[in-house]
Amino acid sequence: MSTLSPLRCPSCASNLKAQDIDTARGLITCGYCGALMNLAAPTAAPGAPAAPAFTPRPEVPLPPRIRIAKTERGVELSWRWFTPVLLFLIPFTIAWDAFLLFWYSMAGSSDAPWIMVVFPIAHVAVGIGLTYCVIASLLNTTRITVAPRALEVRHGPIPWRGNAVFERSQVEQLFCKRKETRGKHGPHVTYELWLSLRGPRAVKLVSNGLEEEQVLYLEQRIESVLGLSDRPMAGELVR
Ligand SMILES: [Zn+2]
């Protein structure tokens, strides 16, 4: 480590700066795109300029929803999709579907005008989508398996998009993204876990309903199982 090249954000490729470091929490937040990264302890190369003082990120405790287990394939990190919000969504979905069933029983039993059949088509589409999401949220689990040679993500048993396998040798780093969407009831914040791959390119690993402590835990744990050593180091940051 004799030449210090500026460290780039794995998400947007802009140069990371010293002011992007949160020394108390051991986190780097990209000043441009807001990507979050764990800060690795600096390797003190002999003769190298001293790295700015900072606290290496303490190990994040296991968040309540996430389970970790050793399987024959590797280390498995998993969490069920179920959250208490579903308890409000279930009666709403049942009411929505029940209304449509009632509507179509009326439309089918008499000489109903054709408009009665066609009119709620968009509502039927929403009902099907909503019902599918509710069933998936009740039953599904996301599993990330960190094997010696691969990193795998699976959602199931209800089919869902986002299943993927990445070769271990392709993975350079993990980082987190904070996504803020503006809704009717104010801003809604979600967190995503991303992989920085050789190439370079970045792909989203998981996003469904995770909170900050959960994505940071996943990032830290997966990086430690994979033994990733080329993580951001304080001495490489642009001042
Ligand atoms: Zn960035």
Centre of ligand 1 from the C-alpha of residue 196, in Å? 12
Whether a cis peptide bond, with omega within 30° of 0, leads into 200 is: yes
Query: For 137-148, how does the pLDDT look when each residue is reduced to its tens digit (9 = 90+)?
Result: 999 999 999 988
Centre of ligand 1 from the C-alpha of residue 32, in Å? 5
Contacts of 36 (CB under 8 A, 6+ apart): 27, 28, 29, 30, 175, 176, 177, 178, 212, 215, 216, 219
Centre of ligand 1 from the C-alpha of residue 236, in Å? 15
Centre of ligand 1 from the C-alpha of residue 178, in Å? 11
Centre of ligand 1 from the C-alpha of residue 38, in Å? 14
pLDDT of res. 1: 41
Centre of ligand 1 from the C-alpha of residue 16, in Å? 8
Q: Give the Å distances, CA to CA, from 30 to 89, 159, 175, 177.
A: 36, 34, 10, 10
Centre of ligand 1 from the C-alpha of residue 118, in Å? 47
Centre of ligand 1 from the C-alpha of residue 8, in Å? 8
User: Which segments of the chain have a pLDDT < 70?
Assistant: 1-6, 40-58, 110, 229-239
Centre of ligand 1 from the C-alpha of residue 30, in Å? 5
Centre of ligand 1 from the C-alpha of residue 40, in Å? 17
pLDDT of res. 136: 96
Contacts of 218 (CB under 8 A, 6+ apart): 66, 77, 144, 174, 193, 206, 210
- The answer to whether the pTM exceeds 0.85 is no
Centre of ligand 1 from the C-alpha of residue 9, in Å? 5
Query: For 163-195, how does the pLDDT look when each residue is reduced to its tens digit (9 = 90+)?
Result: 999 999 999 889 999 888 888 888 888 899 999
Q: What is the Cα–Cα distance from 55 to 181, expressed in whole angstroms?
A: 32
Centre of ligand 1 from the C-alpha of residue 193, in Å? 14
pLDDT of res. 43: 44
SS3 131: helix
Centre of ligand 1 from the C-alpha of residue 36, in Å? 9
Which amino acid appears at position 188 of this protein? H
Centre of ligand 1 from the C-alpha of residue 12, in Å? 4
DSSP states of 17-29 as a string? BGGGEETTTTEEE
Taking the domains of the chain in order of start, what are their residue ranges? Answer: 18-41+55-81+141-236, 86-137
